[in-house]
Structure formats: C-alpha cells, structure tokens
Amino acid sequence: MSKNSNSLIALVIGAGIGTVLGVLFAPDSGSNTRDRLSFRLSKYKKELEELIEELVEGKELHLNEAKTEGKRVISEAKNKAENLLSDVNKLIDQINQEKN
C-alpha cells in the first residue's frame, strides 16, 4: 500500500477511536450513548468499506495496465526476434550462395 493509503486508513481508525472515546465519556444516558455510538460506527464502517473497494479497484486497474504493457513488450520483442531471425536466414543464404 502507498503512504497515502496507510495515512488515510490511520486517519479513519483514529477518528473512529476518538469518536468512541468521546461518546463514552460524554454526559448522556447509556441508551442514547449506545445509539449514537452504533450510528457512528456503522457510518465509519461504510466509509471504510468504500475505501477498501476503491483500493481494490485501483489495484485491479494497475494490474490490468501492467498486463497490457507486458503483452505489448512481449509482442515487440517477438517481432524484433522474428526480424532478426529473418535477417540471419538471409545472411546464411547469401553465404551459402557465395560458397557455390
């Protein structure tokens, strides 16, 4: 993962922990506190799921780009090798003709 991804995850986790601690120490009734805590945790859970989905999509995009680039490089190398082989065959033919 990149530094930005790690920083963003750390920020989300830190915000979640801060929220939980703030709500737990707030002067409110237990049921209200639990409801607020549950709401905020579900909100952070959704945000974290979206972040993970974005990271996975980004990774897949990079993999697709890498595969495409790899196929292009292989294709170019194959073409160059075929051209080289053709040139070598022509040289061998010329040498054989000069011997005869």
d(CA 33, CA 11): 23
Distance CA 66, CA 68 (A): 5
Other CB atoms closer than 10 Å to residue 23's CB: what's the count? 19
Domain count, the chain: 1
CA distance 48 to 12: 7
What is the span of the domain harbouring residue 23? 3-99
Q: Digits of tens for pLDDT over the chain (100 positions)?
A: 566 677 777 888 888 787 777 766 766 677 776 777 778 788 888 888 887 787 777 676 677 777 888 888 888 888 888 888 888 888 888 777 777 6
